[in-house]
Amino acid sequence: MKGLEGKVILITGGASGLGKATAVRFDKEGAKVVIADIDEKGKTLAENLQDAIFVETDVTSHEQVKHSIDTTVEKFGRVDIIFNNAGIDGEQKPTGASSIENWEKVRQIDLDGAFYYLKYGLEQMKKQGGGVIINTSSTAGLVGFENIPPYTAAKGALVQLTKSTAMEYAEHGIRVNGIAPSVVKTALVEHFIEESEDPEATEAQFNELNPMPGWIQPEDVAAAVAFLASDEARYITGHTLPIDGGYVAQ
């Protein structure tokens, strides 16, 4: 992909799932990779990439978020791309039955953590004269999705935050976009299936969820992130790209 070689990308939630697939993709593109995650599996992943580091980071802590960005700049001199990807789905209950604790936990990881990376990442990118931030939303942030209210709220808020931030920082050479995957075969989705009332039925439903048959793979999402981060997308900002096999077109 044009313009990714030598770039520095910081990936939150980079130890597994979409983050891991994106780390591997950018490594193949010749980028320098920073894996920010609370899971120390990210350290092993970094050791297996060409030019990468792991920074243990809890995205609910704005101090740790700032530290991960500062560490990136100390190591590589700049941060060109931030893939704002860390997230959880939380418990499965309708809105009125959802616990306050679950609401706060999901919001803190999925929305507050993304805001912290925007806040500190934008400051750094302004200093260096530009950059790209890509936020992981979801099809559940674009259309209604039952029984995960804090997740849908956080992902929907990210769509709007992406738009407003893109407008604010376009003049500084900073592009801000989002992605909205449908169901992707990751540990997060497997956890969702296992925690559902009828795991077998839920998996069967997901198998037939999108108009295009089959499961979306993490590598499909990584390819979209690579495109949005690349020079090929230099005039694309403020958009959230569905990666959904036609799900939201219905």
Token readout for 9 is 């990308």
Distance CA 184, CA 20 (A): 13
- Residue 169 catalytic? no
Of 231, 176, 240, 237, give the one whose Cα is nearest residue 31. 231
CB 32 within 8 A of CB 6: yes
**Biggest CA-to-CA distance, the chain:** 51
Closest CA to 11 of 61, 51, 69: 69
Exposed (0-12), middle (13-18) or buried (19+): which is 123, by Cβ within 10 Å?
exposed
At residue 221's C-alpha, the angle toward residues 163 and 206, to 5°, is 100
The strand ranges marked E within the chain are 8-12, 32-37, 52-56, 81-84, 131-136, 174-181, 240-243
The residue behind tokens 């989705």 is 189
Residue 128 burial (CB < 10 Å; 0-12/13-18/19+)?
middle
Point out the catalytic residue in the list 116, 117, 151, 247: 151
Cβ atoms 79, 52 nearer than 8 A: no
Looking at residue 245, its amino acid is G
Question: Which residue numbers are catalytic?
Answer: 151
